[in-house]
Amino acid sequence: MTTVPAAFTPFTLTAADGCCLQARRFGPTGEPAGQLVIAGATGVPQRFYARFAEFAAAQGMEVWTLDYRGIGLSRVSDLRALRMDYRDWARLDLAALLDHVVAQGRGPLWMVGHSYGGHALGLLPHPDQISRCATFATGAGWHGWMPPLERWRVRVMWHVLGPLVVRLKGYLAWSLLGMGEDLPRDVFVQWRRWCQWPRYFFDDPELPELAEAFARVRIPIRAINATDDAWAPPASRDAFMAGYTNAQVEAVTVNPADLGMRAVGHMDYFRPQALPLWRETLDWLRR
């Protein structure tokens, strides 16, 4: 089926703590077959997912995206002053969008999570709102799961470039490094902390409650990772997804060549070249 660009409607959400967030709705031409929320990756604005959202809307889904606080259209005027918990993107921001979507009452609710978006599912206050979830590039973040060259790059970022930039700017000016949107300082500090462990924040002795939180997730999850994803290779995915102890997790490993692509990496799951993967994923969600 040919994708017809879907017009989106921008709107403003208010999280439980009063933070204002910018979101978008991509509507199908007719009555929606269901609702799809796209939970983005760290430092990736919602505009990156527009083509995937348009495609899903053309397949009859009502699609919703948002920019987390401090990111994209939800960026604050002084990022240095933003105090937050990395988990707030899920338990406050994404939760606000899900509550809004559920209130519409138009069919089943599915979620597609990219990287952090796959972590977010277990951090939600009401994960039972979602019927099925597919994740792309979700992993544990530990450098030991990565190829040797990427291990070196990541450790330089965590221990040299990142701290230096944060000290100079008051936030992680990731855009200066060509790696995405600028990030609040608190996000950088927590992210770096959790990435020191093979199972990410599940290994954090200060967060024992996360095991119980993730155990509340009991829906089917399809965890899709590419063999050339240096940040979240299949081994990293398996280490993290083990935290969803009561979910029906199906691990899917894709080879770029099988999709007719030269590379997928950590980001190209959402490029138009991955159209076969898009079709398969949407079919699985509706199954």
Q: What is the mean pLDDT of each run of 10 residues along the chain (287 residues)?
A: 63 97 94 95 97 96 97 95 97 98 92 98 97 98 96 95 95 84 96 98 98 98 98 98 98 95 96 96 96
Q: Quick one: pLDDT at residue 7? A: 78
Rounded to two decimals, what is the model's pTM? 0.95
Output the pLDDT for position 6.
55
Q: Give the β-pairing of 220-226 and 248-254.
A: parallel
Residue 67 has a pLDDT of: 98
DSSP string, 58-90: HTTEEEEEEPPTTSGGG--S-GGG----TTHII
d(CA 287, CA 284): 5
**Structure confidence at residue 31 (pLDDT):** 86
Q: Which residue in the block uniquely carries the two structure tokens 């829906």?
A: 219
**Beta pairing, strands 109-114 & 132-136:** parallel
> Which H helix or E strand runs over 225?
strand 220-226
Q: Which domains are delineated in the chain?
A: 8-146+197-286 (3.40.50.1820)
Q: What angle do CA 140, 273, 111 make, to 5 degrees?
A: 45
Query: What pLDDT does residue 1 have?
Result: 38
CB-CB contact of 252 with 224 (8 Å): yes
Q: What is the pLDDT of residue 73?
A: 97
CA nearest to 269, candidates 237, 239, 241, 228: 228
pLDDT of the residue at 3: 43
pLDDT for 106 equals 86
- pLDDT for the residue 218: 97
- The tokens describing 11, both together, are 């709107």
